[in-house]
Amino acid sequence: MRYFSNRELSQTLGIKLAKWKRWCREFLAPDPLGGMQSGYARQLTIDDAFTVYLGGYLVGELKYGIQTTRQILADLRDWLGACGFYRTPMYRSAGVEDDQGVLAYQIYITTGDPMPHAYTIRGILEERVEPAPAGCFRTVRYWERILGGNAATGAVQATGDSVRLLNISSVQACFLCYFDSAVPAK
């Protein structure tokens, strides 16, 4: 397993080092080798780096606060592992049976008080664009699964400002594009 330094990852991803380190402190468990005074530089796996990158995306692009982002990452961790978003066995969990053939995933994040966060996960199975007289028709076939909220009944209460779309497959593809093109294999 390869480990990466904060400096290497911040340069690769084009994120300022101070911001990257702050996100690491906010979104990862404390470094087991010591704190800031220990003299050891933190080493991250590719999965740690993806967690930090995703957390930064939720804060920077979707405008969630740090506490909300921590909760979202904790809520989605098992699902991300089950669907193959993490590469190392420590993050992976049992696979999800009905996810075969999924082209991309989208997550509709519903937040609000006093209800807990709810996640409507959409697995896109097929997408077609067909010409039409006034432009084109886009046909999408997908399945949905609800995590959190009232998943037992499928009820997600949403108001206009409380739902945000996370194109998780696109975020991962962007991360891997930066990562695979700039970091040489060892």
Q: Given a cut of 60, is residue 175 above it in pLDDT? A: yes
Q: Given a cut of 60, is residue 11 above it in pLDDT? A: yes
Per-residue model confidence (pLDDT) at position 88: 67
Contact at 8 Å (CB) between 121 and 79? yes
**Model confidence band, residue 119 (pLDDT cutoffs 50, 70, 90):** very high
Mean pLDDT throughout 139-153?
78
Domain span including residue 159: 4-182
Structural tokens at position 103: 């082209």
**Model confidence band, residue 30 (pLDDT cutoffs 50, 70, 90):** confident
**C-beta atoms surrounding 184 within 10 Å:** 4
| pLDDT above 90 as % of the chain | 47
The tally of domains found in the chain comes to 1
Q: Given a cut of 90, is residue 133 above it in pLDDT? A: no
**Model confidence band, residue 39 (pLDDT cutoffs 50, 70, 90):** low
Terminus-to-terminus CA distance in the chain, angstroms?
10
Contacts of 42 (CB under 8 A, 6+ apart): 5, 6, 24, 31, 33
Verdict on whether the full-model pTM lies above 0.95: no
Q: 184: helix, coil or strand?
A: coil
Structural tokens at position 31: 């470094």
Contact at 8 Å (CB) between 111 and 68? yes
In eight-state DSSP terms, residue 75 is H
Mean pLDDT is lowest, of 23-27, 36-40, 83-87, 140-144, for: 36-40
E strand segments, the chain: 4-5, 43-44, 104-110, 118-132, 135-148, 163-166
What average pLDDT does the chain have? Answer: 83
Q: Given a cut of 50, is residue 55 above it in pLDDT? A: yes
Per-residue model confidence (pLDDT) at position 97: 46
Q: Given a cut of 80, is residue 159 above it in pLDDT? A: no
